[in-house]
Amino acid sequence: MSMEEVFHPMQEPMILAAAISIVVGAVVIVAGLTYFKKWGYFYKNWLSTVDHKKIGIMYIATALLMLFRGGIDALLMRAQTAVPDNGLLDAQHYNEIFTTHGLLMILFMAMPFVIGLMNIVIPLQIGARDVAFPRLNAVSFWLFAAGCGLLNLSFIIGGSPDAGWTAYFPLAGTEFSPSVGNNYYSLALQLSGIGTLMTGVNFIATIIKMRAPGMTLMKMPMFTWSILITNVIIVFAFPVLTVALALMMLDRQFGTQFFAMQNGGMDMLWANLFWVWGHPEVYIVILPAFGIFSEIIATFARKNLYGYKSMVMSMVVISLLSFLVWAHHFYTMGHGVMVNSVFSITTMAIAVPTGVKIFNWLLTMRHGKIQFTTPMLYALGFIPIFTIGGVTGVMLAMASADYQYHNTMFLVAHFHYVLIPGTVFGVLAGYHYWWPKMFGFRLNEKLGKAAFWFIAICFNVTFFPLFILGLDGYARRMYTYSESTGYGPLNMLSFIGGIGLAVGFALIVYNIYYSWKHMPRNEKADVWDGRTLEWATHSPVPEYNFAVVPTVTRLDEFWFAKKEGRDITAGKIEKIHMPNNTGTPFWMSGFFFLAAFFAVFNLWIPAIISMIGVFGFMIHRSFEKDHGRYISVEEVMATEKSLRGDK
């Protein structure tokens, strides 16, 4: 590949602008850190941290960045299709943009946002001092960051993947996609996917082994339950992605024929493997949102969660069914009435446990005392909008009818109606809800609510027209359409809604700045009058989370303790064992990044050298003796005293 080809994407003015802004941004950060002499601080406190709270914050920061990166993609798509025969983007650019929009939003926005929140909240909610494997947790994050960086780099160097986020073969094979874009796809997703798999192992171990004394499984908060189930799904689903991506890499870069059109390759094998991972993936990003809504609705209705047991059961059933429905993504491949009927029924069956959850949330509010805070608004907005996503999901589940919806805007509208009010509202609700726990001050409520209304209303303006367009035969992924189709006006409406959505998300970010400047500090530990253990410790949370690990006797222990006037954090302070920080995960992932980057361009010698670096770190780790360190009783007492202050 010549240099000219490598930098080919830069010839597009918009991509050049994006590239310049990324470079300028990087220079500003580097210069800023140097000028303020913060490199040491940055390395010691962030790059080499193993603290689950800081790792969580880094996940969320990345997710917000990617939300904007993917959001700009979305706006460009809506702008391009706002009027018929528009020439804003050409087909190639449009194809790259909808591909990266899907990849970024699912894998580098929704996933890290969910994983970030689970990192911050889970150890606190179960009364633990960190996750089971803190260093592995850092490896997870940095591998994710490496994958994320690699995918973003594709826009500047060599060209982005352009065969859709589903990368169906043979389109994604070298014959029809000769650029390196899909090499980036397989390698970037591989890196971050391995990171996610490690997260799955880590959090299952954490939740199974590290709960506070007395917290049996059925006394766990609903968010913890949702995360446990989510991580079980991750551990079962992600290996499939790992294998599929490895086969994709072999096909594209080593001449194998797994998904090829000749020599016995099967194109639909990729589609099957992809969706065997891809459908559970949907539940990986939605179940944590269900958990968040459960916490928030109970907190702000000031009532315990209605039907706790059936809420747990319904999530277990959803997780099992999530592995039995993948073929509904290609009813139209021609696999007979029998197969389609079976997958229709399993798919529609998911509506039952999901319905149970919706009714339980509604009944949680009955006899409650509902406070309309920002997180609660997201939870309440979720119910009516998500239900539209759910019922259209049932409509799509009907195989026969799907022959008319498949590959249309109806489908696009459906999954945005599920993922935005579900996942995005969920993580935004959680973000507003747990922000004071992370930073010790609240986000401004007025701005928060304004952003919610912008997002909730403009979301419907953006995506409802797409249902109608789909029913009118508008296929997805078309970069343009002719005026005679009559799709123009509704597309324009959708574009206008998209601008409104962008304003809403901009308000969310502005709120960070505004609240950082103006909101009162030293917020009390239990800002929302919460029910679960994370509210029992200080805000922001000290490194060791709990000076004394609370003992649990029932669900919502903290809530009942407050009512009875007990302090569940009281007790004798002892020295606390904590893991040491380490730069290894950061550097090792750096070498992983280099290896993958060289591999994208088939530069095998430097790739192998980089992998030797990776293995060097692993070998070093196996011989390293690091038993962690102790925080002395005096130090804990001093920290506690300063955090308690005059509260």
Partner 1 sequence: MKKKLSLMFIAFGALAVLAGCEPLTIFDPKGPNAKTLSDTIILSIITMAFILLVVYVLLAFMLTKYRASKASADYEPPHEEGSHLLEITWTVIPIIIVAFLAIVTVRTTSTVESQPDGYDNKEPLVIYASSSNWKWHFSYPEQGIETVNYVNIPVDRPIEFKLYSFGPITSFWIPQLAGQKYAMSDMLTTIHLAADEVGSFMGRNSNFSGRGFAEMEFEAQSMTQEDFDKWASDVKAKEKPLTKEKFDELLKAEHVGRSSYSSTHLEFRPAPMEHSEHMKMGDMDHSKMNHGDHSDSQENSEAKHSH
| Helix, strand or coil, per DSSP, at residue 325 | coil
Closest contact distance (angstroms) between CB of 210 and partner 1 is: 27
Q: List the interface residues with partner 1, window 171-210 (CB under 8 A).
A: 171, 174-178, 180
**Taking Cα atoms as reference points, which of 393, 146, 168 lies closest to residue 282?**
393
From the list 327-335, 510-518, 541-549, 606-614, the region that binds partner 1 by CB under 8 A is 327-335
Taking the CA atoms of residue 212, residue 289, residue 307 and residue 323 in that order, the dihedral angle to the nearest 10 degrees is -100
Structure tokens at 139: 């490896």
Shortest Cβ 475–partner 1 spacing (Å): 4
Tokens linked to 186: 């397989």
Q: Which is nearer to partner 1, 238 or 386 (CB)?
A: 386
Enumerate residues 6+ apart whose C-beta is below 8 A from 433. Answer: 292, 295, 296, 299, 375, 528
Comparison of 149 and 375: residue with beta carbon closer to partner 1: 375
Verify binding: residue 4, partner 1, rule CB under 8 A: no
**Which one, 51 or 526, has the nearer CB to partner 1?**
526
Identify which range of 16-24, 121-129, 365-373, 496-504 contacts partner 1 by CB under 8 A.
365-373
- Both tokens assigned to 179: 């650029």
**Residue 330 contacts partner 1 per CB under 8 A:** yes
The residue from 22, 205, 398, 512 that contacts partner 1 (CB under 8 A) is 398
User: 113 vs 259, which CB is nearer to partner 1?
Assistant: 259
* Site membership for partner 1, residue 420 (CB under 8 A): no
Q: Does 242 bind partner 1 (CB under 8 A)?
A: no
Q: Which of 351, 499, 506, 633 binds partner 1 (CB under 8 A)?
A: 351
**Shortest reach from residue 78's CB to partner 1, in Å:** 16
x-or-dash pattern for partner 1, window 77-116, by CB under 8 A?
Answer: --------------xx--x---------------------
Does 365 help bind partner 1 (rule: CB under 8 A)?
yes
Angle at the Cα of 499 (from 498 to 501), degrees rounded to 5?
65
Q: What is the DSSP string of 174-217?
A: TTT--STHHHHHHHHHHHHHHHHHHHHHHHHHHHHH-PPTT--G
Q: Does 309 bind partner 1 (CB under 8 A)?
A: yes
In whole angstroms, the minimum distance from the beta carbon of 424 to partner 1 comes to: 16
Options 144, 479, 544, 597; binder of partner 1; rule CB under 8 A: 479
Which CB atom, from 482 or from 642, has the smaller least distance to partner 1?
Answer: 482
Q: Closest Cα partner for 199 from 151, 145, 244?
A: 145
Task: Tell me the DSSP string of 260-320.
Answer: -SSTT--HHHHHHHHHHHHHHHHHHHHHHHHHHHHHHHHHHHTSPPTTHHHHHHHHHHHHH
Judged by CB under 8 A, the residue of 355, 500, 540, 606 near partner 1 is 355
Residues near 51 by Cβ (< 8 Å), separated by ≥ 6? 130, 134, 543, 581
Note whether 356 binds partner 1 by CB under 8 A.
Answer: yes
Positions in 424-463 near partner 1 (CB under 8 A): 456-457, 460
Sign for the CA dihedral angle at 152, 157, 158, 159 comes to: positive
> What residues between 129 and 168 interact with partner 1 by CB under 8 A?
163-164, 168
492 binds partner 1 (CB under 8 A): no
Smallest separation, CB 420 to partner 1 (Å): 14
CA 446, CA 507: separation in Å to the nearest integer? 11
Give whole-number Cα distances, 582 to 52, 229, 556, in Å.
13, 30, 36
- At 631 the three-state DSSP class reads strand
**How many whole angstroms separate alpha carbon 27 and alpha carbon 156?**
16
- DSSP annotation of 476 reads T
Smallest gap from Cβ 3 to partner 1, in A, equals 13
Asked if 316 interacts with partner 1 (CB under 8 A), we say: no
Residue 205 token pair: 């171990």
Q: In this structure, are residues 9 and 155 in contact, taking their beta carbons and an 8 Å threshold?
A: yes
State yes or no: residue 387 binds partner 1 (CB under 8 A): yes
* Among the listed residues 407, 442, 422, 646, the one whose alpha carbon sits nearest the alpha carbon of residue 539: 442
Question: Least Å distance between CB 302 and partner 1?
Answer: 5
Structure tokens at 121: 């909240």
Closest CB to partner 1 among residues 24, 261: 261
- Using CB under 8 A as the binding criterion, the count of chain residues that bind partner 1 stands at 107
Does 349 help bind partner 1 (rule: CB under 8 A)? Answer: yes
Q: Is 623 in the site for partner 1 (CB under 8 A)?
A: no
Select from 284-292, 439-447, 466-474, 589-597 the region that touches partner 1 (CB under 8 A).
Answer: 466-474
586-615: contacts with partner 1 (CB under 8 A): 602
What whole-number distance in Å separates Cα of residue 410 and Cα of residue 412?
Answer: 5
CB of 586 to partner 1, least distance (A): 31
Out of 472, 543, 574, 635, which residue is the one contacting partner 1 (CB under 8 A)? Answer: 472
> Is 391 among the residues that bind partner 1 (CB under 8 A)?
yes
The three-state secondary structure class of 62 is helix
Give, as ranges, the residues between 249 and 288 that touch partner 1 (CB under 8 A). Answer: 252-255, 261-268, 271
